[in-house]
A and B are shown apart, each in its own frame.
Chain A
Amino acid sequence: MTVNEPASTLDTDIMEVNMGPQHPSTHGVLRLKLKIDGETVVGCEPIIGYLHRGTEKLCESLSYPMVEPITDRLDYVCAMSENLGYMGAVEKLCGISVPERADFVRVIMVELNRIASHLLWLGTHALDIGAMTVFLYCFREREMILDLFEEFCGARLTYNAFRIGGLLEDLPPGWTGRCRQFLKVYPACQKEYEDLLTKNRIWLKRTKGIGVISGEEAVEIGLTGPSLRGSGVGYDVRKAHPYSVYKRFEFDVPTGENGDTYDRYLVRMEEMRQSLRIIEQALDTLPEGPIRAKVPNWLKPLKGEVYHSVESPRGEQGFYIVSDGTDKPYRMRFRGPSFANLQALPQLCVGHLVADVVALIGTLDIVLGDVDR
């Protein structure tokens, strides 16, 4: 026994903790295998697949219009974006051009959905870090958006809102007025969240310098969306490969500097404001006219393949369709942003404390429906 080496007598073990699939803060059925030394995380292994429903294979046995309800259920928090992406892919495949009014309405819906999705993210992220009230405020405002959606398409979560070639129904009378009402009310609500969080010293301590990822690393992993832009890479599908009518609207793509949790928080908060700007412009310039192009009832695209991606609130949501000339897709592939973003988690976690892991799950903003598909 040597007196000089007290470390050898202090033997510590690395403990393995299962976080999830049932855990208050894993947002669905994510399971994390954490290796912790005391409270410091030394290893993290996400285990996915608890929500696997085989949607890609399922789509091969469904005709093109039938796939839309399936896309609702991929990333159920922003079903409008999924709908838009799928519609865009099919319309690209069949060479259908959508009437202008339908495009405008779609953009309004998707941007409203972006706000709703970010509200859900903010609420759960803050709840994970312990700010319970923000969660309920966020849901209060999200409810207003969901009411608008219910009025437009009849559903509050799985919208199935668009149809190939345009829309099923036009905006109900008075809808634009109510939408403008929301635009007027909302900024004050967002200020409330910012009052509760942005400068709060506990919030700053919990988010600044946590989960730093550099822009290069983020690109290598394949991060997209606000998680990538928080690291200073200004890649936004709406700007990089404009789809629908996004070219006509003026909006900024906010980026962070440090690539930490706080910057990603700021980026998302700013994105909500930009979405408001887009909706306002779209409402101002909303053209009159038809809402649906002529589309055959039984859609049979020519042989070929197509990839179309949209900027969902979580990142680049891609749809890859291979058609063999029948009324059903030969192969359907979804590129989910949550799946790619989740890959960053093990790297972000290491070296932080257990309490930070929940903050990091929150900041990546994953939706398990999109990860497992």
Chain B
Amino acid sequence: MTEKFISIEDVVHKVIRPEAGAINTFIGTVRELTDGKRTLYLTYEAYASMAEKMMARIGTEIEEKWPDAKVAITHRVGRLEISDVAVVLAVSTPHRADAYEASRYAIERIKQMVPIWKKEHWDTGEEWIGNQQGTKAYALGSKTKEDLHG
């Protein structure tokens, strides 16, 4: 966890090692438009000590599922502007297939169980995302997209 700018390079360097033949990174950035609504900036808040514990646990889960994998995760909190980097994760493995799968697993688990919350600020107001209204709106949004593509 950090309150400062995340160096993508620093996170990647944590997993570089001779055994690795592949490093997959995921970089989460602040999106301006969500379902047509313009975000001005975000604030992230965390239960920092537990969040770090849960991120370490995700690392352990990955090393159990992909024994040759090494993972590094950094998440930023505080105020973030549009296109700022909110999260960087890197996974190194001997071969690329595992690096892709494990990095997907890591970000999905972060979104399930790491106690971090984001608040979207608009010119018309603000809201903690993940609350009842936000969850419903997003669920409907993704369902609509699926319907369109399906």
Is the A/B pair a real complex? no
Residues of A near any B CB (own CB < 8 A): none
